[in-house]
Amino acid sequence: TDTDNADEAVRATCDDATTCKRFATSKGYWKDPYIQYFVRSVGDRKAPEINRGYYARVQGVNHLLDAFLRKTQCDCQVINLGAGLDTTFWRLKDENLMPRKFFEVDFPTVVARKIHNIKTKPPLSKPIIETHSTDSLLLDAHSLESDRYCIIGADLRDLSSLDEKLKKFQLNPELPTLLLSECVLVYMTPSHSSNLVHWAAETFHTAMFINYEQVNMSDRFGQVMIENLQRRQCTLAGVEACQTLDSQKDRFLKTGWEHVDALDMMTVYTMLPQDDVARIERLEFLDEKELLQQLLQHYNICWATKDKLNLGLSQLAF
């Protein structure tokens, strides 16, 4: 059916993200020794502005995520929604920044692929076994459950099933919780993403939600971005919520979040540690600075907090 085809095109987007991240790390933009186990080859060359865009995305999201982990002293849980083939679990383990439990959710077929890679690649499976105390490690085709890391196959549009599965995997609603969605909500209709964000606000009393995705999509450049995706049968069903930074913030303000902020990625880029930005700008020559600016102005990070435990989550920023 059309819906199945649309979902299949959305599932395929996780390969794009991982391929681009793999290429950028092969050039030295940042380090990720685990991503090679999820995409076989470095693949075709990507334009320098694409690599810088991924650099800003990864550093920007990591900045807020790590700030949350430090603020809660890792006495918290993380839920990566639409995680795809993301490698953050392994980074946090290596950097001694592991939350009590790290959850990932994606479509069952994507999860099955990820689990297959983990099962067959010791550098991926070893850290999971190391952080597991008993011999009851549950690993089947569609889910992984260990003490510190869970991967769950679920559709983020079906909230009752999502809620049920997370609880089955020992999600603790009392614990400070970081929810992350990186290029995920834009593939869902505005009502589906609002419902998801609302579910999160209702479920956790002390939490932060970090959302990275497109913004300012109503201009010519945004239209071209949409057309490029459509050519590959991929529809940005949530593009209405990506018109402005205010529409990004409204999704959270209307669903029970207390403190909300949003920055476009050009602004984030200028706020990242500038010595490292200078380093990556020397990696590849970029002729068209304006192209990078335009690209970065069409993505944003929006983050929202609620803080019953008064941990000071609303201070987390760039």
- Helix ranges (H only) for the chain are 2-26, 48-71, 88-94, 108-120, 122-130, 159-168, 190-203, 220-230, 245-253, 265-271, 274-281, 289-296
Q: Does 72 bind ligand SAM (CB under 6 A)?
A: no
Q: CA–CA separation, 67 vs 85, rounded Å?
A: 23
Among 13, 194, 211, 216, binds ligand SAM (CB under 6 A): 13
Q: Which is nearer to ligand SAM, 86 or 307 (CB)?
A: 86
x/- mask, ligand SAM, residues 137-176, rule CB under 6 A, reads ------------------xxx-------------------
How far is the C-alpha of 207 from the C-alpha of 191, rounded, in Å? 21
Query: What distance in Å separates the CA atoms of residue 145 and residue 169, rounded to the nearest whole number?
Result: 7
Does residue 307 bind ligand SAM (CB under 6 A)? no
Question: How far does Cα 67 stand from its chain's mean position?
Answer: 15
Tokens of 155: 């559709």
- Which residue lies nearer to ligand SAM by CB, 51 or 206? 51
**What CA–CA distance (Å, rounded) separates 62 from 55?**
11
Our finding on whether 102 is near ligand SAM (CB under 6 A) is no
Which of 68, 149, 187, 199 forms a contact with ligand SAM (CB under 6 A)? 187
Instruction: Tell me if 302 contacts ligand SAM by CB under 6 A.
Output: no
Q: What is the DSSP string of 253-315?
A: HTTT-SEEEEEEHHHHHHHS-HHHHHHHHTTS--S-HHHHHHHHTTEEEEEEEEETT---GGG
Among the listed residues 49, 86, 104, 261, the single contact to ligand SAM using CB under 6 A: 86
Interface pick for ligand SAM out of 32, 49, 106, 261 (rule CB under 6 A): 106
Q: Cα(209)–Cα(41) distance, rounded to whole angstroms?
A: 33
Task: State the number of binding residues for ligand SAM (CB under 6 A).
Answer: 20
- For residue 133, the 8-state DSSP code is -
Examine residue 306 and tell whether it contacts ligand SAM (CB under 6 A): no
Identify which of residues 262 and 311 has a Cβ nearer to ligand SAM in the complex.
262
> Does 17 help bind ligand SAM (rule: CB under 6 A)?
yes
Q: What is the DSSP letter of 138?
A: E
Residue 179 or 188: which CB sits closer to ligand SAM? 188
Strand (E) or helix (H) holding 249: helix 245-253
Q: Does 210 bind ligand SAM (CB under 6 A)?
A: no
CA distances from 17 to 8, 22, 166, 273, 310 (A): 15, 9, 25, 23, 35
- Of 48, 53, 84, 176, which one interacts with ligand SAM (CB under 6 A)? 84
Nearer to ligand SAM, 187 or 252 (CB): 187
CB of 81 to ligand SAM, least distance (A): 7
Task: Give me the count of residues in the chain.
Answer: 318
Q: How far is the CB of 82 from ligand SAM (least distance, A)?
A: 3
- Which residue, 9 or 277, is less far from ligand SAM as judged by CB? 9
- 133: number of Cβ within 10 Å: 9
Of 110 and 200, the one with the shorter C-beta distance to ligand SAM is: 110
Instruction: Using CB under 6 A, list all residues that contact ligand SAM.
Output: 10-11, 13-14, 17, 82-84, 86, 106-107, 110, 155-157, 182-184, 187-188
